[in-house]
Amino acid sequence: MSRTAEITRKTTETDITLVLDLDGTGSYRNDTGIPFLDHMLNLFARHGLFDLQTTARGDTEVDDHHTVEDIGLCLGDAFLTTLGDKKGITRYGFFILPMDEALAEVAVDFSGRPYLAWNVAWEQEKIKSFDVSLVEEFWRAFSVRSQANLHVNVRAGKDAHHVCEAVFKAAARAFDAAVALDARRQDIPSTKGTLTA
């Protein structure tokens, strides 16, 4: 069964096409108009073994907010689409990942009940021109649209680049575990019989 999705989103603020293959090899081609976000998406694809292509144009002359948030929405839509009714998936995933002085912990449950718990701090507000507070907006958008319960905790580290990188890599590894198919399971991993909102 192919677990791929192509998501398009076009508004007065953004024009995005995102293609995701959950069972990929970690190949990527991301061109969002925001170099730091491209870097984070590339890391996410490579470490989660997801094939990910993103093309985005947004009103970055205003700021990066709309583009970052809308790409989070599209990635969430892609996960929701590819997981379908969620039969056979592991459902839960977690990973603790070091990046130099930073240590990030990400836990996810593709439960059908969106929630983001965000416990992250850093010393810088900007990485070049990128506003690092937008990373939280990205993951909140992802959580809402993928209907995932997502907890992100940074246990150590203040360098914003290292913290962001640790979060995206840990998310990739946690998601890879959660979407993996369990050969022992043919049903939906819930006593309720459903994992949809």
Average pLDDT of span 50-66: 94
Q: What is the pLDDT of residue 70?
A: 97
pTM to 2 decimal places: 0.95
Q: What is the pLDDT of residues 98-140, one digit of tens each?
A: 999 999 999 999 999 999 999 999 889 999 999 999 999 999 9
Architecture of the domain defined by 4-179: 2-Layer Sandwich (3.30)
pLDDT at 186 over 90: no
Mean pLDDT for all residues in the chain: 95
Average pLDDT of span 26-42: 97
CA proximity to 33, closest of 129, 122, 126: 129
Q: What is the pLDDT of residue 62?
A: 85
Q: What is the pLDDT of residue 197?
A: 67
Q: What is the pLDDT of residue 194?
A: 74
Q: What is the pLDDT of residue 191?
A: 67
Q: What is the pLDDT of residue 2?
A: 87
Average pLDDT of span 79-101: 95
Average pLDDT of span 63-91: 95
Q: What is the pLDDT of residue 149?
A: 97
Domain range list for the chain: 4-179
Q: What is the pLDDT of residues 67-77, one digit of tens each?
A: 999 999 999 99
Residue 61 confidence class, pLDDT cut points 50, 70, 90: confident
